[in-house]
Structure 1
């Protein structure tokens, strides 16, 4: 759907006969979904919309005629909203696309040792380009500055994107699901990469918490689904999911300030390229806490082997506490070898991984959970659970205090 923007080949129909100021940049963009409609953008902001009308040397007009032999549609000047830094990049791109506002982001990690956009941020830009029409992105040589001109959200089926191994699929799912709600057609996209890690929400947490929350805002249940076809953990990934998102005309406003009281707990464990006994040990540790506090507790297993196990060994657990107010409180973690860029090398391949008994105990214990947040990096266990809760208040039916 996207095409690389760059100088045309010498002698091609798109070769520009007019001298223009050279401007070196890296960019990509998608043109209108019509055949034989290449897109080409240069520093003078000329856009050639059809190669059959490619510019040629203007011939002298014939007598009695004032029509030239070519036409060059000239775009008006694009007014970019200027921003600085790499903070909230996903929110900026999402709001820019939904509002149709071009943005110019500068000073992206300009003072860092490795300045510019990270691989997962470039992959995110390509994902936005893949699900929209007529989107244009220009990135400078150092990656510290880029222009983003949003297109129209098209949606569609049989769309695929490789998220890479820099960040997990959950990093891409959060803005993508909101973007897909306002497309021209329902979206069905296949994402490849890391399904479970400790930096971003795992796909199990996304499926058990985010999707039910969307239904509260008027998103229909039909057509809203996330299928996990294979698991992938750091550092090599290899996971694959299929996200289906229906379209909506508008979202309903919701007043939702009461988290309610916990009534039941559901959970999922997974293991990839390791023994399935790891899952049993995690479940045993978690139920050792829950069984004394709540009767309705079910934790399911998902052992993967072969091609469905991805490219790296790992295991993890995701727990969800459902309240009588419809709130979902979730916690998850994944144990695997670190990525090479996380530690500078792959030395911790030699380290001993955390035992599954400890994993199940930590995730199920409220006392050890960090503050309420959405899967931020910085903790071995990422969660949306509360902190400073006494052990005797764990899921006992009383309100959870934050």
Structure 2
């Protein structure tokens, strides 16, 4: 569920589970990373803010890859809402088709300290580099989503290679055990020639075969 809350208005979008099965072939390989699909955005502020974010992010990322393209998107007018701000979304794609992402946005108006566009751009670029170092087939933000899909999948073995588990993911595993009585087998995979960066963990479980909200879990 995602909510876009702005001053004076609330826009909500979400998803629902339809009857069907999630086909899981397992993700156990990772590859080297390259930049893909990145953009800086600004809303109800000077369009130059987005350019400043991009320049500061490129000052970090261009040390590793010279041909990085970060697009800018400036929203104005009625569709821009009532909350000024800016942010940056960065995505890296590995040679095996895995996407690792990092995103930062300025603090809402009147909440927290003001953020400079240059600081936000550099910090977001460093977060992306950290995700690449952590590695795995899913970035740290979406580790819990991958584990949830494995839990709800077919009554068969599912495996996924992750980077170091985040504190949120560790707590999420406890919730999966409480709700579905599912325990994952966790194997540590030290970094080496095939697994560069930080140490990895191979997560294995047998799904519960969940297919419809109206059906009782067996």
TM tier, shorter chain? 0.5 to 0.7
| Residues 300 and 247 (structure 1), Cα distance of their counterparts in 2 relative to 1, 3 Å cut | farther
In structure 1, what is the Cα distance between the partners aligned to 2:9 and 2:30? 35
Cα deviation, residue 250, structure 1: 2.6
Structure 1 residue aligned with 2:88, among 317, 337, 349? Answer: 317
CA shift for structure 1 position 327: 1.0
- Rg bigger for which structure? 1
Separation (CA, whole Å) in 2 of partners of 1:263 and 1:368:
11
Q: Identify the structure with bigger relative contact order (alpha carbons < 8 Å, sequence gap 6+).
A: 2
Is 1:356 aligned to residue 117 of structure 2? yes
Q: Distance in 1 between matches of 2:163 and 2:117?
A: 20
**Pair 1:361–1:240, CA change in 2 (3 A):** same
SS of alignment partner, residue 293 of structure 1: coil
Which of residues 44, 47, 60 is equivalent to 1:276?
47
Contact 2:33 2:95 (C-alpha < 8 Å) held by counterparts? yes
1:401 counterpart residue number = 198
Residue 285 of structure 1 pairs with residue 56 of structure 2: yes
- Give the deviation of 1:286 after TM superposition: 0.7
Q: Which has the higher strand share?
A: 2
Aligned partner of 2:140 among 361, 367, 373:
373
Q: Secondary structure at the match of 1:330?
A: strand
- Which consecutive unaligned segments of at least 5 residues does structure 1 have? 1-171, 174-192, 195-232, 339-347, 377-383, 388-397
* Counterparts of 1:368 and 1:293, CA distance in 2: 10
Q: 1:262 aligns with which of 33, 38, 58?
A: 33
1:171-190 equivalent positions in 2, closer than 5 A: 172-173=1-2
- Computed over aligned residues only, the root mean square deviation of the Cα atoms, in angstroms, reads 3.7
- 1:8-52 superposed Cα distances (whole Å, 9 cap, x missing partner): xxxxxxxxxxxxxxxxxxxxxxxxxxxxxxxxxxxxxxxxxxxxx
The 1:284/1:308 distance shift into structure 2, 3 A limit, reads same
CA drift of 1:298 comes to 1.5
Instruction: Identify unmatched segments of 5+ residues in structure 2.
Output: 144-161, 166-194, 200-218
Question: Could you tell me the TM-score, scaled by structure 1's length?
Answer: 0.31
Counterpart mapping for 1:95-106 below 5 A: none
What is aligned with 2:188? none
Counterparts of 1:76-225 in structure 2, within 5 Å, are: 172-173=1-2, 193-194=3-4
Q: Distance in 2 between matches of 1:295 and 1:285?
A: 14
* Contact 1:369-1:386 at 8 Å conserved across structures: no
Q: How far apart in 2 are the matches of 1:332 and 1:236? A: 25
Q: How many residues align?
A: 146
Q: Give 1:251 deviation, angstroms.
A: 2.2
Q: Partners in 1 of 2:142 and 2:81 — Cα distance? A: 22
Q: What TM-score, normalized by structure 2, do the two folds share?
A: 0.54
Deviation at 1:277, TM superposition (A): 0.6
Residue in structure 2 matched with residue 294 of structure 1 by the alignment? 65
Aligned to 1:374, what secondary structure does the other structure show? helix
Q: Deviations over 1:143-171 (max 9, x none)?
A: xxxxxxxxxxxxxxxxxxxxxxxxxxxxx
